[in-house]
Amino acid sequence: MPSDPLWYKDAVIYELHVRGFYDADGNGTGEFRGLTLKLDYLADLGVSAIWLLPFYPSPLRDDGYDISDYTNIHPAYGALDDFKMFLEEAHRRGLRVITELVLNHTSDQHPWFQEARSSRNNARRDWYVWSDLIERYKKARIIFTDTELSNWAWDPVSKSHYWHRFFSHQPDLNYDNPAVFEAVWGVMKFWLDLGVDGLRLDAVPYLVEREGTACENLPETHEVLKRLRRRVDEHFSEKMLLAEANQWPKDVRQYFGVGDECHMAFHFPLMPRMFMAIKLEDRKPIVDILRNTPEIPDVCQWGIFLRNHDELTLEMVTDEERDYMYDEFAPEKRAQLNLGIRRRLAPLMEGDRRRIELMNGLLMSMPGSPILYYGDEIGMGDNIYLGDRNGVRTPMQWSGGWNAGFSSADPEQLYSPIISNPVYGYQAINVESQRRYDHSLLSWMKRLIRLRKSTRVFGRGTMEILTPQNHRVLAYLRELGSERILMVCNLSSQAQAAELDLRRWKGSVPIEMFGSNLFPPIGDLPYLLTLGPYQFYWFRLRRL
């Protein structure tokens, strides 16, 4: 794999769960051997990195985010050797691998917690946060509002309360204890030594608690992350840390430090605003959030996404915006979960190919590294009748055959039912059928990713938002060195005209990137473009 310390800045990341990708041994659950067999598909799709959801031993009460052994593989997904083989094969194809590091909490089944709860005098007692009173940290909000009433849970074994920001079966680690820091560093080193390229740091804002605060984004938390980063830099090169901090950009900005904390962080507030903009048919939500996004160090990068394994989170929106999103995207109450919407991209776009393309076009051209969620490249649907977020975690649909080509097991044996409704069912939506023709969503996505990767402008360039009078049209310019790319997007369901002030680039010729067609050169007059419903253009501006 070519060496590049900033590889994550140009990456197109593909997020998947081993369990749901491909079942090679026919027991109904995907595993590393199956995933390895599908690496050619991912290489062909054009992505450059794979982000694996948790695959560690776990009671699986939170889809693997409740880890009971940090340095092993859940037996259902194979053995450590299977992982090593997968990693080697991925690297051989030029694919980097990002794994999960859940460092805020463990499962209550983890031996650390079992020891800690065994007695108040246990040596690991202080690895977690305990209290006889539940009055502590009252200002900390409850995150899983649908299931949890308090951030404290009663432990009947040691007859005390333990602190948890997520489910009550996920006790928070105590980072005030230096031993915890060293243990977590040991876990990181284990995976990085194996060759993992990046670690997604789960729920980083909540590492440290302090009385009288919201217990989020505390300076002490940043200090923990900086120390971990120093350790990584001392021992490794070309490794990446990705922060999951569902916060406002100004708060997330802190997780980059001065380039000495995390390399990447998700840009959560941008995501719902892309959905909002396309429904409102108005660029305002996107423009507002981008204008309120601070600059980040050159060596850092935003992680941007449309959908992921969780609900479409609406924490970073106003109450009015959240109501609007629910009414427009989740009128069926069942589609709502916590403060979000548990649906995939295609159903959210009502299966409208034009809107799906526009959303992906926005994703691939915004500042940051795009993250695709498995199955969205073929327009997979969801199942809101499954509990929690399982409706967006159903098996990958490879073909129209037995179990969607995912597994040879009996259908009853599958870890999750396959999507089988007439619109999004595997007979209609699958990889095999979409490989057959050039105009399928899958083929189009390949072209889009190829274009994205054809230049570093998207990953590293500056962004300037243009302001055509027509607010249904979003236009922006990405620039890196002498390279300029102009994006013009019609957010509306109707054809639109827009006049762009491009006089600064007078004499340049816009070359439409998908077809390499030359458009009329830019002159003194406003540059008039007409766009069909949800149409978008990417133009390379070339001075001929």
Interaction site with other proteins (CB under 8 A) = 276, 280-285, 318-321, 324, 468-472, 492, 494, 496-498
C-alpha distances in angstroms, 416 versus 26, 220, 319, 420?
Answer: 14, 41, 34, 12
In degrees to the nearest 10, what's the CA dihedral of 241, 245, 251, 253? 20
CB of 226 to other proteins, least distance (A): 34
CB of 533 to other proteins, least distance (A): 12
| Catalytic status, residue 100 | no
CB of 141 to other proteins, least distance (A): 20
Longest Cα separation, the chain: 79
CB of 499 to other proteins, least distance (A): 8
Strands 152-155 and 536-543: unpaired
| Catalytic status, residue 202 | yes
C-alpha distances in angstroms, 542 versus 364, 479, 507, 521?
Answer: 21, 12, 9, 9
d(C-alpha 335, C-alpha 329), whole Å:
9
CB of 392 to other proteins, least distance (A): 26
d(C-alpha 325, C-alpha 319), whole Å:
10
In the complex with other proteins, which residue's Cβ is closer, 29 or 470?
470
Residue 83, amino acid: F
Structural element, H or E, at residue 14: strand 13-16
In the complex with other proteins, which residue's Cβ is closer, 39 or 466?
466
In the complex with other proteins, which residue's Cβ is closer, 179 or 495?
495
Question: Smallest Cα–Cα separation from 105: which of 157, 168, 191?
Answer: 168
In the complex with other proteins, which residue's Cβ is closer, 169 or 284?
284
Specify whether the backbone of 278 is left (phi greater than 0), alpha (psi in -120 to 50) or beta.
alpha
In degrees to the nearest 10, what's the CA dihedral of 468, 12, 479, 519? -60
In the complex with other proteins, which residue's Cβ is closer, 4 or 288?
288
In the complex with other proteins, which residue's Cβ is closer, 27 or 493?
493
Q: Which two tokens stand for residue 318?
A: 């106003």
CB of 512 to other proteins, least distance (A): 23
Q: With b meaning 16 or more CB within 10 Å and e meaning fewer, what string describes 362-391?
A: bbbbbbbbbbbbbbbbbbbbbbbeeebbbb
Please tell me which residue in 202, 261, 376, 377 is annotated as part of the active site: 202
Please tell me which residue in 244, 311, 377, 382 is annotated as part of the active site: 244
Question: Smallest Cα–Cα separation from 57: which of 95, 21, 7, 109?
Answer: 109
Evaluate whether 499 touches 527 at the Cβ level (below 8 Å).
Answer: yes
CB of 468 to other proteins, least distance (A): 7
In the complex with other proteins, which residue's Cβ is closer, 132 or 320?
320
CB of 322 to other proteins, least distance (A): 11
d(C-alpha 434, C-alpha 454), whole Å:
23
d(C-alpha 468, C-alpha 489), whole Å:
11
In the complex with other proteins, which residue's Cβ is closer, 420 or 493?
493
Strands 198-201 and 240-243: parallel
d(C-alpha 473, C-alpha 157), whole Å:
60
Composition of the chain by helix, strand, coil, percent to 5: 35, 20, 50
In the complex with other proteins, which residue's Cβ is closer, 388 or 499?
499
CB of 277 to other proteins, least distance (A): 10
DSSP state of 172: B
Active site residues: 202, 244
